[in-house]
Amino acid sequence: MRWTSLASLASFVLGMVQVAILARLLTKSDFAWVAIAGVFVNTGLQLQIAGINAAIVQRPENKPLALSSLYWLNITIGILFSSIMIIIAILLAKIYQSPILLFVTAFYSIILLINAFSVQYKALLQKNLHFRALAISEISGTGAGFALAIWAAIQGYGPYALVAGYLARYTIEMPIIIWTGSQLFRPQWRFHWQSIRPYLVFSGFHWAERITVQLGSQLDILLIGKLLGSEALGIYDVFKRILVRPFHLLNEMLEKVTFPVLAHLQYDIKRQEKLFSQLINHLSTVNLALIIGLIIVAQPLIGWYLGAEWTAYTPVFQALCVFCLFHYLLNPADTLLLAQGRIRQWLYAHIILLPLQMIVLSAGTYYGLTGAAVANVGAYALFTGAVYTWLIAPALHTDMMRLLNKTSIPFLIAAIAATVSFSTFFIQKNNAAQWIALLLFIGLYILLNWRYNKKFTTIIQELFKRLI
């Protein structure tokens, strides 16, 4: 957990500094083109991580012959995905009437080929809880990507600076992952189809689920870019990078640790329910403080972080803060259903979400970028409530009221602290009042958690003792 936390912290800090610097060196359209290309490249990366490699983590035992066969299949899939991206690049350039999208997407797609050589080793390291090796590779890759992206932006490479940073990260990570993972597995020059059939049964639904989930989570990028233009999308993407990425890193850190444990406990529902409830409580305690704090000081924070010209879009930033609330609640749901092998249910849920999100988002764009952001929040609020009521509660053999009772303390504490602090903010709307409201919120939030959220405060005390 320590190494995973360190890697997530390093990625968060470097990511935040990188966005602040690149927002001043690149145009908003530069961010937009990379965001559109990233929808499809990141879907490919998700497919590489999911499916076969998630099945490796999920299965109790993996035989050497099967692992060797899967390794060569992973490389074949990487080559195939990179080739498909060229076709997608041509289509994107025509749809968005931007030739630069062709070259950006094609350049970006090289990541899929690089990742193919190391993705299975990552799965094995995760399964065997070798988080130190994963953390070292992630920190090294993130540092290299950060340096190259800044240098390329200064040299005037525009959107290619962002892509170069991603390529550097995966290129540096690959040899470190392979070298450390070779202690667990070395591929043989053999391919046995029968040995991998059980993995493919699991992978088929997981791949379909990943495609649906990834496209659903990035549908806002595609629609805003098409309906409102690259300038609006660039603004939206920068805010999304600032907000969603940190929450994603926190959830990803916990998922790396909890997924193997939840998979191990897949036949012990009572212990799964206890672990899941604790996960939601701890995530909520941390994330709600961040979300509400960011909403309170959004305007002065944006002006300081990105520049005065960005403050006009503060409502978009605040709407995305609320979006993060539902984003972090859905990630543990995904992890639980995957650990229980309930891929079909998660897939069907997102198939229902896609048309709903498309209709709501399209209607929201009529009111501009702020309308689109608010509409997306509404769609995800409805979806999150439905998922927890009809998927998560039954998966844990409980009902929604019981689940709410076990996970409601952080939400009640946040609501009380936010109500008091927002009343201070609305009395006098200026920068000083916003920072005072933030301090008041933090003070009340810590005090109430100390008094009523004993499990979380005990964990924090133990972490401090270890650090000291």
> What is the full DSSP assignment across 170-190?
HHHHHHHHHHHHTTT----S-
Rounded-to-integer distance, Cα 244 and Cα 265, Å = 29
Query: Which two tokens mark 117?
Result: 């050589």
Checking if the pLDDT of 225 tops 80, the result is yes
Distance of CA 191 to CAs 65, 79, 122, Å? 8, 17, 21
Half-sphere CA count of 367, side-chain side, radius 13 A: 13
Distance between CA atoms of 338 and 202, rounded to whole angstroms? 10
Q: Which amino acid is located at 195 in the chain?
A: S
| Average pLDDT rounded to a whole number, residues 318-342 | 86
- Select the more confidently predicted residue: 301 or 12: 301
Residue 92 has what pLDDT? Answer: 95
| Ramachandran angles phi, psi of 21, nearest 5° | -75, -50
Confidence at residue 253, expressed as pLDDT on a 0 to 100 scale = 62
Query: Of 114-128, 215-229, 246-260, 321-335, which has the strongest mean pLDDT?
Result: 215-229
pLDDT number for residue 426: 61
Least confident of 20-24, 53-57, 152-156: 53-57
Q: 7: pLDDT confidence band, cut at 50, 70 and 90?
A: confident
The residue with greater pLDDT, 88 or 427, is 88
**Residue 467 pLDDT greater than 50, yes or no:** no
Tokens representing residue 353 in the block: 């979400």
pLDDT tier for residue 433 given thresholds of 50, 70 and 90: confident
Give the residue-averaged pLDDT of 359-368. 94
What mean pLDDT comes out for the span 200-226? Answer: 81
What pLDDT score was predicted for residue 462?
65
Q: Which of 46, 358, 368 is nearest to 233 (CA)?
A: 368
Most confident of 129-133, 189-193, 233-237, 246-250: 233-237
Q: Using the predicted structure, report yes or no on whether residue 301 has a pLDDT greater than 70.
A: yes
Q: What is the mean pLDDT of residues 405-427?
A: 84
Give the count of alpha carbons within 13 A of 335, CB side only: 27
State percent of the chain over pLDDT 90. 45
Do 267 and 62 form a contact (C-beta atoms < 8 A)? Answer: no
Taking the CA of residue 170 as centre, how many other CA atoms within 13 Å lie in the half-sphere pointing to its CB?
18
For residue 51, pLDDT over 90 is answered with no
Highest mean pLDDT among 74-88, 241-255, 273-287: 74-88
Quick check: 37 and 105 in contact, CB under 8 A?
A: yes
d(CA 156, CA 436) in angstroms, rounded, equals: 41
